[in-house]
């Protein structure tokens, strides 16, 4: 409860009790969740004014908007790269009118919209969350970084948005994909697993770099689940993306190289590398196995809500003979229509067109 607002808090409790008979799920006892940091957070009532702040917020935005209650409950979002605003605008007709913060916005800026709950990624506790709580604003931390965390964090959102059935439905969707991929790769021996290298391309400040993800991250898990052998694990034991040079890439001699570009076109990067004299000497490039990672407004390798699509797509690339029946465009249409409620025309024009553009013919 905010300091000096005890009377308002008590009034809200009384109001919640009065409305509980006509609003299913609104309980006089409020809402209690154990968040991603293991903290027990108690709210006096369902949050009606939710703000999403901090870095990597588009992953939270996309997860929250899987719930049909989101447009009404979310009052403020954080601006982000990777076309985050464009996707939210497809989901929420009032999105443009809502407050938008910068990723480095101070706690006082978030507090100014008077939210009754702020959602943050776990690593934002020290730079932002602690100050928000000092200002009397409840914070719930979420991860949404791995499949296991998705199950837990969807359940948390289900409680906060009074729609636990939706949380269970969404986890069943991801669980089904995991089962399909596991079944498709069952029984593979090491000799049947191609040596795979996944590289993030960046050119910050005009300096080109290639980076590999650490072993626990979802990108590495995807490669393993999809029936590949991630060749870079020994070189990526830190807590984040590790820069590697072409000499190391050549030494790994991968069978397949997947290129990620979060802030531009992965296809354009692949096309440039295919004509680069040094890169063109790599056997994977010569074999046509330099591949841009699939995506639409977001790359599908990330722990965004699209990770299920990304895993299915990657399986079709790494083990094509085992996943020949997967129609990735049909999978994408089903996902965006069923779980985001988008019309087919919107999916085709705004998302599938980008998916097609993210691929090159090999």
Q: Distance (Å, rounded) from C-alpha 139 to C-alpha 144?
A: 16
The tokens of 221 are what? 């898990």
Residue bearing tokens 């593979």: 188
Let me know whether 114 and 68 are in one domain.
yes
Q: For residue 337, give Cα distances in angstroms to 161, 166, 351, 353.
A: 21, 15, 11, 15
pLDDT at res. 206: 82
Let me know whether 26 and 116 are in one domain.
yes
Let me know whether 60 and 205 are in one domain.
no
Is 1 contained in some domain?
A: no
Is 168 contained in some domain?
A: no
Let me know whether 278 and 350 are in one domain.
yes
State pTM to two decimals: 0.89
Q: Distance (Å, rounded) from C-alpha 292 to C-alpha 268?
A: 9
| Residue 2 backbone zone (phi > 0: left; psi -120 to 50: alpha; other: beta) | beta
Let me know whether 75 and 143 are in one domain.
yes
pLDDT at res. 14: 36
Q: Are 282 and 249 in contact (CB under 8 A)?
A: yes
Let me know whether 73 and 206 are in one domain.
no
- Where is the domain boundary, 112, 129, 162? 162
Q: Distance (Å, rounded) from C-alpha 86 to C-alpha 73?
A: 19
Q: How is residue 16 annotated by DSSP?
A: H
pLDDT tens-digit readout, 85-125: 689 999 998 988 999 888 889 999 999 999 999 999 999 99
Q: Distance (Å, rounded) from C-alpha 152 to C-alpha 164?
A: 12
Let me know whether 78 and 196 are in one domain.
no
Is 253 contained in some domain?
A: yes
Q: Distance (Å, rounded) from C-alpha 181 to C-alpha 266?
A: 25
Let me know whether 281 and 194 are in one domain.
yes
Let me know whether 312 and 263 are in one domain.
yes
Number of domains in the chain: 2
Q: Distance (Å, rounded) from C-alpha 14 to C-alpha 8?
A: 10
Strand partners, 42: 32
pLDDT at res. 221: 96
Strand partners, 118: 51, 139
Q: What domain range includes position 278?
A: 185-357
320-326: Cβ within 8 A, 24+ apart:
322/184, 322/185, 322/188, 322/227, 323/184
The tokens of 291 are what? 């591949």
Residues of the chain with pLDDT under 50: 1-28
Q: Distance (Å, rounded) from C-alpha 161 to C-alpha 324?
A: 38
Is 106 contained in some domain?
A: yes
Is 210 contained in some domain?
A: yes
């Amino acid at each position: 409860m905010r300091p000096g607002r005890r009377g308002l808090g008590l009034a809200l409790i009384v109001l919640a009790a009065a409305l509980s008979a006509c609003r299913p799920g609104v309980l006089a006892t409020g809402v209690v969740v154990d968040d991603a940091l293991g903290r027990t957070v108690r709210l006096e009532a369902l949050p009606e004014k939710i703000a999403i702040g901090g870095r990597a917020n588009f992953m939270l935005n996309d997860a929250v908007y899987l719930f049909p209650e989101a447009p009404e409950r979310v009052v403020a979002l954080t601006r982000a790269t990777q076309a985050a605003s464009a996707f939210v605008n497809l989901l929420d007709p009032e999105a443009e009118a809502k407050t938008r913060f910068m990723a480095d916005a101070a706690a006082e800026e978030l507090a100014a919209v008077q939210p009754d709950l702020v959602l943050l990624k776990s690593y934002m506790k020290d730079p932002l969350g602690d100050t928000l709580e000092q200002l009397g604003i409840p914070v719930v931390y979420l991860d949404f970084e791995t499949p296991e965390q998705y199950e837990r964090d969807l359940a948390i959102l289900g409680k906060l948005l009074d729609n636990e059935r939706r949380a269970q439905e969404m986890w069943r969707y991801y669980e089904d994909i995991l089962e399909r991929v596991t079944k498709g790769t069952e029984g593979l021996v090491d000799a049947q697993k191609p040596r795979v290298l996944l590289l993030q391309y960046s050119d910050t400040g005009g300096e080109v770099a290639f980076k590999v993800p650490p072993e626990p991250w979802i990108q590495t898990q995807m490669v393993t689940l999809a029936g590949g052998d991630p060749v870079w694990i020994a070189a990526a034991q830190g807590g984040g993306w590790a820069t590697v040079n072409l000499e190391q890439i050549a030494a790994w001699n991968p069978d397949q190289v997947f290129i990620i570009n979060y802030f531009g076109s992965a296809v354009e990067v692949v096309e440039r590398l295919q004509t680069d004299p040094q890169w063109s000497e790599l056997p994977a490039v010569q074999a046509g196995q330099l591949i841009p990672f699939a995506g639409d407004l977001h790359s599908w390798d990330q722990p965004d809500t699209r990770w299920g699509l990304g895993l299915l797509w990657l399986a079709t690339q790494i083990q094509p003979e085992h996943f020949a029946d997967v129609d990735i465009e049909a999978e994408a249409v089903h996902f965006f229509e069923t779980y985001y409620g988008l019309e087919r025309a919107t999916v085709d024009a705004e998302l599938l067109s980008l998916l097609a553009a993210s691929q090159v013919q090999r």
